[in-house]
Amino acid sequence: MIQIRTATTDDIPAMLATEQAATAYPWAESSFQSSFSERYFNAVALIDAQIAGFYIGELVAGEASLFDIAVHPRLQGKGIGKALLNHFLDEAERRQATDCWLEVRASNQTAIALYQQLGFHQVGVRPGYYPAPGGNEDAVLMALSLAMPSL
């Protein structure tokens, strides 16, 4: 069973290990450390009390941004990413965000399909945003409105 809880700075080593296993271009430890202040909301997913994945979110001026999300490769395809993304959206709503934003590698069709399944839509492209073998890769900018329609 997947359990999700608020991440703490004590979780950084496990989050970093997950990030390093899941991506060819992981964040530095200092990036994780700087993502634990008042404007950030971060969570970890646990399987059998072990960190299986995480997300790092930020709320500024009513907009929630998903900065990083990763699931350990051994545990991908088990619903952990979807559970983390749903938690992020619930937390953004709880914090009264009106919109959610994220960027994803254009080649990451699995993640793009998940984001679309949960209501995100493409709003732009950042050319050459991510490092990639032999050059750079575009980022797809995606958004989801959480604002309630006015009556």
Radius of gyration of the chain (CA): 15
Strand runs labelled E in the chain: 2-6, 40-47, 50-60, 63-71, 99-105, 121-132, 135-145
Burial letters 74-111, b for 16+ CB under 10 A, else e: ebeeeebbebbbebbbebbeeeebeebbbbbbbebeeb
Distance CA 139, CA 56 (A): 18
Is 103 an annotated catalytic residue? Answer: yes
Catalytic residue among 19, 55, 91, 103: 103
Catalytic residue among 115, 129, 130, 137: 115
Is 115 an annotated catalytic residue? Answer: yes
The residue among 103, 94, 21 whose CA lies nearest residue 56 is 103
Cite the active site residues: 103, 115
